[in-house]
Amino acid sequence: MKSCLKYFVLLLYINFIEGSFRCDYKYSSKAQAWFKFVVIPANWFDAQLRCSQEDAVLASPTTPDILAEMRNVMNRSNPEYEIFTGIHATVSQGDYYTIEGSPLSTIAVPWAENEPDNMNNTESCITLNGNGELADRPCEVMRPYICYRAESSQVEVSECGTVDPEYHLDKRTNKCYKFHTEPRNFSRAFLACSAEGGHLAIINSDVEATVLRELFAQYPVDKLLGNFRKDLAFIGFYDWGEKWVYRTIHGEKLMKAGYNKFSPGEPTDIDDERCGGIFRSGLLIDLWCDRPAAFICEKNPGYPAVCRALL
Stretch that binds Ca ion, among 31-39, 116-124, 150-158, 284-292 (CB under 5 A): 116-124
Task: Assess 117 for contact with Ca ion (CB under 5 A).
Answer: yes
Task: Note whether 285 and 277 are within 8 A (CB).
Answer: yes
Task: Assess 210 for contact with Ca ion (CB under 5 A).
Answer: no
Task: Assess 136 for contact with Ca ion (CB under 5 A).
Answer: yes
Please, which residue, 131 or 204, has the CB nearer to Ca ion?
204
Please give the Cα distance from 77 to 71 (Å, whole number).
8
Pure H helices in the chain: 2-17, 44-53, 64-74, 186-195, 206-217, 254-257
Please, which residue, 113 or 271, has the CB nearer to Ca ion?
113
Pure H helices in 148-242: 186-195, 206-217
> 209: number of CA atoms within 13 Å, CB side?
19
Instruction: Select the residue interacting with Ca ion from 67, 139, 202, 278 (CB under 5 A).
Output: 202
Q: What angle do CA 74, 86, 75 make, to 5 degrees?
A: 5
Task: Assess 204 for contact with Ca ion (CB under 5 A).
Answer: yes
Task: Assess 278 for contact with Ca ion (CB under 5 A).
Answer: no
Please, which residue, 123 or 239, has the CB nearer to Ca ion?
123
Task: Assess 290 for contact with Ca ion (CB under 5 A).
Answer: no
**Interface residues for Ca ion in 150-169 (CB under 5 A)?**
none
Looking only at the bridges linking them, the beta strands covering 143-150 and 168-170 are unpaired
Please give the Cα distance from 231 to 212 (Å, whole number).
13
Please, which residue, 124 or 185, has the CB nearer to Ca ion?
124
Task: Assess 82 for contact with Ca ion (CB under 5 A).
Answer: no
Please, which residue, 117 or 269, has the CB nearer to Ca ion?
117
List interacting residues with Ca ion (CB under 5 A).
117, 119, 123, 136, 202, 204
